[in-house]
């Protein structure tokens, strides 16, 4: 909405990110609490999803460009969850989210390492 009305701000971006994480916690907690997924599957997906966001935020804080890095960013995870819901395969879908999220975290770690090592090499020259 802020972009639509031309009223973007750093605080708005921060708040948006925080609320995205809160919504992920609520969704996965609800799936676990209602026993729609195995508790360990839900916890794995929640943990890995939060790490995807953390890896991006921390990498960007240290100067690595992380936008678009990884196989399972938030939109992809939401699509998988929607498809799993429609197919009545929540446990499988949430497990897939967990696995793809771990891969995404690893991709972001590799990108951050690559960018930070390249910056260090340039600094030494």
Residues 40-82 have pLDDT tens digits of 999 999 999 999 999 999 999 999 999 899 999 999 999 999 9
Domain of 64, in residue numbers: 10-124
- Between residues 7 and 16, the one the model is more confident about: 16
| Residue listed under structure tokens 């989210």 | 97
Q: Domain with 49 in it: what CATH number?
A: 1.20.120.1760
Task: Give the span between the Cα atoms of 119 and 125, in whole angstroms.
Answer: 10
Instruction: Assess if residue 88 is contained within a domain.
Output: yes
Residue 5 lies in a domain: no
Which residue in 16, 20, 88, 123 is the catalytic one? 20
Structure token digits, residue 58: 């921390």
Answer whether residue 2 is part of any domain: no
How many beta carbons lie within 10 A of that of residue 36, not counting itself?
Answer: 14
Name which residue leads in pLDDT, 117 or 79: 79
Is 123 a catalytic site residue?
Answer: no
Nearest to 70 by CA among 114, 95, 112, 103: 103
In the chain, which ranges are continuous DSSP H helix? 10-33, 39-61, 74-86, 90-124
In a domain, 45, yes or no: yes
Q: Is 3 part of a structural domain of the chain?
A: no
């Amino acid at each position: 909405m802020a972009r639509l009305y031309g009223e973007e701000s750093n605080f708005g971006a921060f708040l948006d990110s925080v609320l995205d994480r809160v919504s992920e916690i609520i969704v996965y907690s609800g799936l676990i609490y209602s026993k729609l997924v195995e508790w360990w599957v839900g916890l794995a997906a929640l943990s890995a999803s939060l790490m995807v966001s953390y890896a991006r935020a921390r990498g960007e804080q240290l100067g690595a460009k992380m936008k678009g890095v990884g196989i399972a960013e938030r939109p992809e995870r939401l699509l998988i969850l929607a498809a799993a819901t429609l197919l009545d395969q929540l446990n499988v879908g949430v497990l897939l989210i967990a696995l793809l999220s771990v891969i995404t975290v690893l991709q972001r770690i590799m990108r951050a390492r690559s960018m930070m090592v390249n910056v260090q090499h340039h600094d030494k020259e």
